[in-house]
Amino acid sequence: MRYPEQFDVLVIGGGHAGTEAAAAAARMGARTLLLTQNIETIGQMSCNPAIGGIGKSHLVAEIDALDGVMARATDQAGIHFRVLNSSKGPAVRAVRAQADRALYKNAVRKILEHQENLSIFQQSVVDLIVEGGRVIGCKTQMELDFYASSVVLTTGTFLGGKIHIGHEQQPGGRAGDAPSNALAKRLRALPFRVGRLKTGTPPRIDGRSVDFSKLEQQPGDEPRPVMSSMGKRQDHPSQTACHITYTNELTHEIIRDNLSRSAMYSGAIEGVGPRYCPSIEDKVVRFAEKTQHQIFIEPEGLTTTELYPNGISTSLPFDVQMAFVRSMSGFEQAHISRPGYAIEYDYFDPRDLTYSLQTKALDGLFFAGPINGTTGYEEAGAQGLLAGINAARKVQDQAFWEPRRDEAYIGVLVDDLINLGTTEPYRMFTSRAEFRLRLRQDNADQRLTPIGSKLGVISSARQRFYEQKMRELAALKKDFAGNCIMPGSDLDQRLSLGLRKETTLLDALRRPEVTVETVSEALGIETSNEQAITVLRQLEIETKYAGYIKRQDDEIAKIRRHETMQIPEQIDYLSIDGLSNELRQKLDQQRPASLARAARIPGMTPAALSVLLIHAKKAASL
């Protein structure tokens, strides 16, 4: 049966990518339907109950700047907040929150259910409806067909999902949830390159069986940060602590003795796991000289006693899991409430995508999240947002939004994925962003809210909030620029400047020793006045980083000039003599739209780029 209503955008999947995609498309006015296997698991955190962290909270801030869901939901559900890298500079500073799983899910669902233009339907999708190289809808298990102009596929780890515990295997997209095998089979028949990835989770532990007196306690930070730029501390539920314990020689011995029983070491798993998130088996083998590994114990929520011991993800059989867990301090009597497992799943080579996250093979089909080889809620959410925006842009017959590497971590993420592909689950790190100094959490709104505003994805409340901040910043800057400090004056002394000639307060702010703290004290700004402090901090960063930003601006200007150099679509790469065979093949396959994009193809040299440019000009003039 055909569902009577025609939609603009169909989003398949209700995880972090799917919810952002659906909400974004709906915010842009597209009639959107979110299809999920199970409405109860919308916004479910499949892995550890934490949002943010280095590089990741940068993505969350960007989602927030475009009025997305994740940051707002985190402020509703966060039960422990910390600022990371506070002393290493504003660009790498990050916020990480522990979330109550239930509260988080509720917050996401609440946002979606209050979103205009968005409907939700519970049903498993089994196939896509393709017509003339274009996706126009999908079929569900109950033989109900949905039609739309764009389809966003966010199947997470569910495509061909297989769960491993020791030598036992069972199909599953997440413990307790069935995989999407019918859809996986259908998609494998479509012209996409498929690979297998793996990831793992640790056994969960019942807090009632843990001796907390033996654990190190780690409280949240005070003053407590917020995740959303519009978030308020009052929104946060009550707060709780995390704990730390360590593995020891005995733990390692138990694991070493049972390696042959691990799914990963017995060769049962073909998928590649992430280097930065090794299983405990991997850690013990690869870093044999370490006598202990830190285990970060995260609370699962305020109303549950379950704990998530981060750092011991494993695919060892249950009896070994029990033995090694109980070898650790504080866990001697630990009761495992859910065994740890490794999960393998299908992903599609992201090099088959374009910058908009639309697939190259099928018009109107967008991919977001682990289906593209990424891991992490934040990475998924960021892609979902982008795919949702572009799915709506497609319906509106507007040009896609394709954020650049110098604009946003979302741009870095997509650019890396579609150009380089990935061989392990891709996670964001700040070291991936060459323009890291400008892609800060604190200026995510300045980078993206104006763009979001043009895209129509921003609510009027956020628009007003943003404009207000900008007005205050401009006023403060003007104020500081006009405030001349005379040598020996009161302010000179209070800021211990030791001036020889008059200097504006703005220039004084360039000095390393003049900080938000010293200035607010000298000017009598109360530290409790958070808005004023935020704006002052913004001015401080802008002032102190001006030189570095200028240097990056010059680089960016070059890239943008290259972006204006379009490469005609009809160009015949294979006939360009001056290029190596390998480069010709790569260019022919990727068909970059501009010189800037060609420049990012691995193996490209300046000389090859020059040759390409000349041929592009020639082709354009024919």
Partner 1 sequence: MTYGLANGPTMIAAVDQDLICAIATPPGQGGIGVVRISGIGAKKVAETLCAKPLKPRKAVYCEFTHQNERLDDGIALWFPQPHSFTGEEVVELQGHGGPVVQQRLLTALCAAGARIARPGEFSERAFHNGKLDLAQAEGIADLIASTSVAAARAALNTLKGTFSARVNEIKDNLVSLRVQLEAAIDFPDEDIEILEQAGVVEKLRSLAEQLQQTLATADQGRLLNNGIQVALIGSPNVGKSSLLNALVGEDAAIVTDIPGTTRDLLKIDLLINGLPIRLVDTAGIRSGVDKVEQQGVARARAQMTEVDLVLLVVAAPDLQRSQMENLVAEVQNQALAQNLEPPKILIVANKVDLVDQSVHIPAHANVAVSALTGQGLDDLRAAIQKQVGFGQDNAEFTARTRHIEALKIAAVQIFRAQQGIEKGLATELVAEELTHAQHHLGSITGELTADELLGKIFSEFCIGK
Query: Which residues in this chain contact partner 1 in the complex, by CB under 8 A?
Result: 48, 54-55, 84-85, 87-92, 274-278, 283, 286-287, 290, 293-294, 296, 310-311, 419-420, 429-432, 434, 436-437, 512, 548, 555, 558-559, 561-562, 565, 576-579, 595, 599-600, 602-611, 613-615, 617-618, 621
Phi, psi of 119 (to 5 degrees): -120, 160
What single string gives the DSSP state of each residue in 85-139?
STTS-TTT-EEEEEE-HHHHHHHHHHHHHT-TTEEEEE--EEEEEEETTEEEEEE
H or E stretch covering 399 = none
Give the residue with the Cβ less far from partner 1, 182 or 285. 285
DSSP tag of 362: S
Q: How far apart are CA 74 and CA 59, in angstroms?
A: 13
Give the residue with the Cβ less far from partner 1, 250 or 614. 614
Nearest distance in Å: CB 393, partner 1: 27
What token pair was written down for 114?
């209050």
The residue with tokens 């964001």 is 428
Give the residue with the Cβ less far from partner 1, 158 or 324. 324
What token pair was written down for 393?
């842009």
> Between the CA atoms of 204, 206, 210 and 216, what dihedral angle is there, to the nearest 10 degrees?
50
Give the residue with the Cβ less far from partner 1, 155 or 313. 313
Nearest distance in Å: CB 10, partner 1: 34
Nearest distance in Å: CB 561, partner 1: 5
Q: How far apart are CA 587 and CA 601, in angstroms?
A: 8
Q: How far apart are CA 329 and CA 245, in angstroms?
A: 7
Closest CA to 143 of 308, 316, 1: 1
CB-facing half-sphere around the CA of 570: CA atoms within 13 A? 6
Q: How far apart are CA 371 and CA 373, in angstroms?
A: 6
Nearest distance in Å: CB 416, partner 1: 8
Q: How far apart are CA 300 and CA 204, in angstroms?
A: 9
Nearest distance in Å: CB 307, partner 1: 14
Give the residue with the Cβ less far from partner 1, 159 or 559. 559
Give the residue with the Cβ less far from partner 1, 326 or 600. 600
> Dmax of the chain from CA atoms?
83
Nearest distance in Å: CB 197, partner 1: 16
Nearest distance in Å: CB 381, partner 1: 20
Give the residue with the Cβ less far from partner 1, 226 or 595. 595
Nearest distance in Å: CB 205, partner 1: 15
Nearest distance in Å: CB 130, partner 1: 34
Give the residue with the Cβ less far from partner 1, 149 or 245. 245
For 526-545, b where at least 16 C-beta lie within 10 A, e where not — what string? eeeeeebbbbbbbbbbbbbb
Give the residue with the Cβ less far from partner 1, 72 or 615. 615
Nearest distance in Å: CB 614, partner 1: 4
Phi, psi of 347 (to 5 degrees): -135, 160
Nearest distance in Å: CB 225, partner 1: 15
Give the residue with the Cβ less far from partner 1, 189 or 622. 622
Give the residue with the Cβ less far from partner 1, 126 or 619. 619
Judge contact between 415 and 405, C-beta under 8 A: yes
Nearest distance in Å: CB 102, partner 1: 22
Contacts of 487 (CB under 8 A, 6+ apart): 499, 500, 501, 502
Handedness of CA 297, 81, 17, 413 (dihedral sign): negative
Give the residue with the Cβ less far from partner 1, 111 or 328. 328
Q: How far apart are CA 313 and CA 340, in angstroms?
A: 6
Nearest distance in Å: CB 541, partner 1: 10
Give all strands of the β-sheet with 168-171 in edge-to-edge order: 168-171, 162-165, 341-348, 194-201
Contacts of 561 (CB under 8 A, 6+ apart): none
Nearest distance in Å: CB 529, partner 1: 25
Task: Note the Cα 90 to chain centre separation in Å.
Answer: 19
Give the residue with the Cβ less far from partner 1, 86 or 398. 86
Closest CA to 69 of 13, 119, 22, 117: 22
Nearest distance in Å: CB 229, partner 1: 21
Give the residue with the Cβ less far from partner 1, 47 or 128. 47
Judge contact between 55 and 379, C-beta under 8 A: no
Closest CA to 264 of 284, 281, 251, 286: 281
Give the residue with the Cβ less far from partner 1, 335 or 562. 562
Nearest distance in Å: CB 21, partner 1: 27
Closest CA to 595 of 553, 618, 566: 566
The residue with tokens 């996409």 is 192
Give the residue with the Cβ less far from partner 1, 167 or 290. 290
Angle at 84 between CA 81 and CA 90, to 5 degrees: 120
Q: How far apart are CA 62 and CA 519, in angstroms?
A: 29
